[in-house]
Amino acid sequence: MKKRAIITALCSLSLAAIGMFGLSNAAGASSVNDYIASKNISHANITSSIWGGFPKNAYRKGTGKPEGVVVHETANPNSTIYNEIAYMKKNYNNAFVHTFVDASRIINIANTNYLAWGAGYPANARFVQFEQVEVHSKSAFAHEVANAAYYTAYTLNKYGLKPNDAAYDGKGTVWSHGGVSKYLGGTNHTDPAGYYASAGRKYFGSKYTFAQFYQLVKTAYNNLSADGAAHGSLTASSAKKAYDKVSYAKADSQASLGDDYKSYRLYNHVKNSRSGVKKYSWESVAAEKGKKVYIDNIGTKSNGHDWYRITFSTDNGAKKYWVYEKALDLIH
């Protein structure tokens, strides 16, 4: 794990085909993003591996929750994600972050409801923070930034925040460590700029920039917002779009509520499939992680994403709900 400046204060089923990530925009066309699109690269599932040894300190007063995400990279070309996690657990008094990302894994090790200290004061009291482990191939780098973009978008969505690149005025929700150094102080690091630029040149022929990475974040966030996440309410203008097309198939199977079920909602119909769709809280069904559900119908949207009609008992007349695929652990 990289050495850090003295800290002056305390911090499975894919959602969307990230083939939509190939964008040309104000940030400039990106060969990395285009490669992700051409290969239809998606993201890894988030693995929860919370370690109880990390301290639990609240975010700054007045918010009580994170205000954005800081993107780091480890600056260690010879380490692995598991080595980094082991090192951090032994040295958390110096620094720690919430999550680590590489080409095939997103491992959350510290509860994001409490601050971490990886970027100095005042950033620690404001932001969720994650590290990217350096990888060493074209495909691995593309997969890693796709994972990093998804995790950034997921975290924003989880806490009801919207993407806003802080690089321009220091007031956004998506931060590089370099942006923290420039606008907030308390640290002097510039990552992940150097790693992005070097890997982009080495594997794709031109440097990769944080502005281009931010375009992936926006697309991942839009996918989350449009396809079932709890905090992803649509804007008034987007709500006027045509309803999603859904094909249905009968089923007779079981599943259980997954680790991340609370990020989604229960509905009386597949979300955005028709007018009059209502949502229900998990509290209304006494939900808990691992609770068994029974599936009698599967709705597949034209984008390939599945929704399941479930009941919480086999009793005749049991109320039926529709739920997005990532809320469930399917039993095969």
Element (H, E) at 215: helix 210-226
Q: From CA 250, how far away is CA 47, in angstroms rounded?
A: 31
pLDDT recorded at residue 225: 66
φ/ψ of 153, rounded to 5, equals -65, -45
Structural domains in the chain, CATH included, are: 31-227 (3.40.80.10), 246-330 (2.30.30.170)
Contact between 293 and 285 under an 8 Å Cβ cutoff? The reply is no
Task: Give the Cα separation of 33 and 146 in Å (integer).
Answer: 9
**Of 281, 217, 48, 11, residue with least CA distance to 127:** 11
What pLDDT sits at residue 42?
Answer: 87
pTM of the model: 0.65
Phi, psi of 122 (to 5 degrees): -100, 5
- From the CB of residue 175, how many other CB atoms can be counted at a distance below 10 Å? 29
What's residue 154's pLDDT?
Answer: 94
* pLDDT for the residue numbered 1: 52
Rg (CA), the chain: 20
Mention every residue, 6+ apart, whose C-beta is less than 8 A from residue 288. Answer: 257
Contact between residue 169 and residue 180 where contact means Cβ atoms under 8 Å apart:
no
Residues 40, 17: Cα–Cα separation, whole Å: 6
Among candidates 16, 247, 280, which has minimal Cα distance to 149? 16
Characterize the bridge pairing of strands 321-324 and 306-311: antiparallel
Q: In tens digits, what is the pLDDT along the chain, a chain of 332 residues?
A: 544 333 333 333 333 333 444 343 434 458 999 999 888 898 998 999 999 999 999 999 877 899 999 999 999 999 999 999 999 999 999 999 999 999 999 999 999 999 999 999 999 999 999 999 999 999 999 999 999 999 999 999 999 999 999 999 999 999 999 999 999 999 999 999 999 999 999 999 999 999 999 999 999 998 886 655 444 333 333 334 478 889 999 999 999 999 989 989 999 999 988 888 898 999 999 999 999 999 999 999 887 889 999 999 999 889 999 999 999 998 65
pLDDT of residue 230: 44
Q: What is the pLDDT of residue 288?
A: 94
